[in-house]
Amino acid sequence: MINLQKGVLDKIESFLKKQDYTWEVVVSDDGSNDGSVEFVEKFIKENPHFRLLKNAHLGKAGAVTTGMLEGKGDYRLFTDMDQATPIEEINNLLPYIKDYDIVIGGRNSQRKGAPITRLIMANGMILLRRIIVGIPQVKDTQCGFKLFRKEPAKKIFKKIKEIKKGFHQISGSAVKAGFDVELLLLAENLGYKIKEVPVEWLYVETRRVSPVKDSVEGLIDLFRIRFNKIKGIYN
């Protein structure tokens, strides 16, 4: 709700209406109960290019997957509501989408504004992910700014939904590191071409972070993905 009150939807609409391509924005809500749904509903009454998907609390993976499968465009971008990577950065990704199936944003190692604990966690995640899972051609799997061509998006996210057995309602926070890794590993295994492009990024604190707890959960996710990879689930 805080990000909505800061005017992120207005900023997105202001930028996109100046572009020379057709567009839509799908807001995929993750079962919020803080007034966000009502806020978005009021906004879309005056902005018909925006749509709202009301989901149960499924976690990031469920909300993103639902939104990407509901999208109608030939190119489909998912981006975090906090706009840590501003929507304007899509102009850095679009030049590559004709030659690649997936173009993802990559943050630099400094990650402007991030506390030292987050930097340590991020760099540790990169090293461990490469050792345990792979995907060596991608440095930053976790940036929430990824652009897909339509057909790869449909195939990858349908497969993710199948792997997760349609997703299930949860309680508590569920921003898991493994989701983005699974997406890119699946894309790699399916033979899709991936391009990582540097983007601007500013740290925005949106939830309470526990360096120890989050690091342990991230490591468990990596081993789970490694096990699934061995079983051939991502083939």
> Model confidence over 139-151: pLDDT tens digits?
999 999 999 999 9
pLDDT at position 121:
78
Cα distance between residue 130 and residue 128, in whole Å: 5
pLDDT at 209 over 60: no
pLDDT at position 151:
97
pLDDT tier at 1 (50, 70, 90 boundaries)? confident
State which amino acid sits at residue 144: G
Cα distance between residue 188 and residue 211, in whole Å: 29
pLDDT at 63 over 60: yes
pLDDT at position 39:
95
Can you give the pTM of this predicted structure?
0.90
Average pLDDT of every residue of the chain: 90
- What sign does the CA torsion over 196, 199, 205, 211 have? positive
Which residues are registered as beta bridge partners of 196? Answer: 104
> Model confidence over 146-188: pLDDT tens digits?
999 999 999 999 999 999 888 877 766 656 679 999 999 999 9
CATH class of segment(s) 2-231: alpha beta
Cα distance between residue 163 and residue 166, in whole Å: 8
Please compute, for residue 110, the number of CA atoms within 13 A of its CA located in the half-sphere on the CB side. 7
- Phi, psi for 233 (deg, rounded to 5): -65, -30
Length of the chain: 235
> Residue 16: which of 103, 86, 107 has the closest Cα?
86
Cα distance between residue 85 and residue 79, in whole Å: 8
pLDDT tier at 207 (50, 70, 90 boundaries)? low
Please compute, for residue 225, the number of CA atoms within 13 A of its CA located in the half-sphere on the CB side. 26
pLDDT above 70: percentage of residues in the chain: 92
> Residue 52: which of 115, 4, 116 has the closest Cα?
4
**How many other β-carbons are positioned within 10 Å of the β-carbon of residue 78?**
22
What is the C-alpha R_g of the chain? 17
